[in-house]
Chains A and B, each alone.
Chain A
Amino acid sequence: MSDENVDRRLSRRKYLQASAAVTAVGAAGCLGSGSEDTGSGGSTASGDETLTIGALHPLSGDAAEMGARFQDVVDAGVQAINQGASDLAPLAGADGEGLPGQDGAIVEVLWADHQGSSDVARSEAESMVLDDGVDILTGCYYSGATEVVSQVAQREGVPHVCGTAIGEGLTERDLEWFWQVPPHTGVKGESMFSFAADMNDQYDAGLETAAIIHQDGTFGTEVANSMERVIEESDFELALDRISYSAQSVNSLSTEIRNMEEADTDIVVHAANVRDALIMLNDMQTEEYYPEMMLTPGSAYLDPSVLSEDVSEHVFSGSDFSNDMYEVHPPMGAYNEYSESATGTAFDGNSIYAWGEFFTAVAAAENAESLSSDDLKDSLDTMSLDEYEAGLPYPVEFDDDGYNQEAFSFVVQADSGQLETVWPFEQAQDDAMTYPVPSWDER
């Protein structure tokens, strides 16, 4: 074994120890007056077995802050399993200390930072499987990293549960060891443009044309592919050819904005990272241009650092999360409160994916005959979870390709830094939607 591998493993071990300490301290400090199952604080389940989950996410770079929130909500999830949190029923594995279905086995999460690099993701995944012997791989947010990690999982025969990457093609590669939980970009696109069509039907919005602008990474390109297909299959028309830009070097999108304005675009679909989302909105303000509808596939536009900016007001996005979803989905509110009390981190449009990813993996283990790879695979192949069991507002049941055919995306609108459900209309709170969106001068 190389020194590099030794260092990497030591690093992960240290992180695991630190996570365990944080979890114990959190349990003692935050849950001392909580439910009876966790009142003793710091106690752990007595099972001999351990479910070891390898979590590969971007913990540095543009997405580092989001990666830190992923860690927080998953830490809360680990605490809920190992300390027990029966109040969170029907959440998988939360009833009692450890996993009831595995004789009280505790859950450990090993983290690795793939830095947004597919090469790093591959080597970290191999190390996790071959050196650390993880039972399940999770991750990886970026579709490119997810692709290569799923190939490692396929080669080594270890389940890879992906709840954070939404690329449409991820489950179309004949992989037997890969399962995708969230709505992929195609499903998101269908929700987004169903919403736009419903706006025409019910509000005479007069939306006819759309433009797609995207960063040139795997994520942006996959979103653009899916959106283009959805638009072509709908009654909407593309106002101009899709526009891509370098995610690394972009410092202005004024030219692109003017081109969209000149093409008389009603709907602008933007697939972006946090930085370019802010550039887009600021440049739109400079150009005094705003389309009839800014409609995004989520991601950066759901990030708290974008939502905290005034320019993000009134943007519509496809999302699995909104701040008012707890009115319609009370268990999600309970999960959010638990996460916030355990780690100080509330759910947001991205971290909810990590929560769902973790609990889908936990549910697979909970319902498996044993923690062997084959039994975990069987459990995932036959999984049929009701809504909330995997920590998500929709059920989880995979099709033959490993895609969660129950995944669903609703549409939210940014309002004073919060996300409010606006579609399906029956799930929206009264007066949640602002439409038509006021011009920059009127804000």
Chain B
Amino acid sequence: MYPDIQVDSRDVTPLWKQIEESIRRLISSGALLPGAPVPSVRDLARELRINPATVARAYQRLMEARLLIARRGEGTYVSVSPPVMEKSERLRLVRETAQRYAIAAASAGSTEKEMLTEAAAAWRRLGSAERGEKK
């Protein structure tokens, strides 16, 4: 019914951040196309069984980043021309995510080499669209 927006309550990443990242991923991979509607806060909260305030917080951040736009009385949509992410913003996002990955790997007892190998392998498993490469 909805695009694949998922949260994992066992993940220590706050739920609003999981939603934000999930939608960012769906947009950058092309699963959510420019102009496509996203579920209302109410519907997504019910679907994922989470607090509507949590969804609203994620949507708010995505609107501030101009990835989503709200049309009054109509709903929320993916921006028709999502802004290219500023370099500083991109680095912040990648760094935060990498930090969490490094922590998970260290907690599980990985070596640095293993952690880096797995990150590179994950990158290679992505399709070209997900890597943001032009067809």
**B is bound to A:** no
Q: Which B residues are within 8 Å of any A CB, using their own CB? A: none
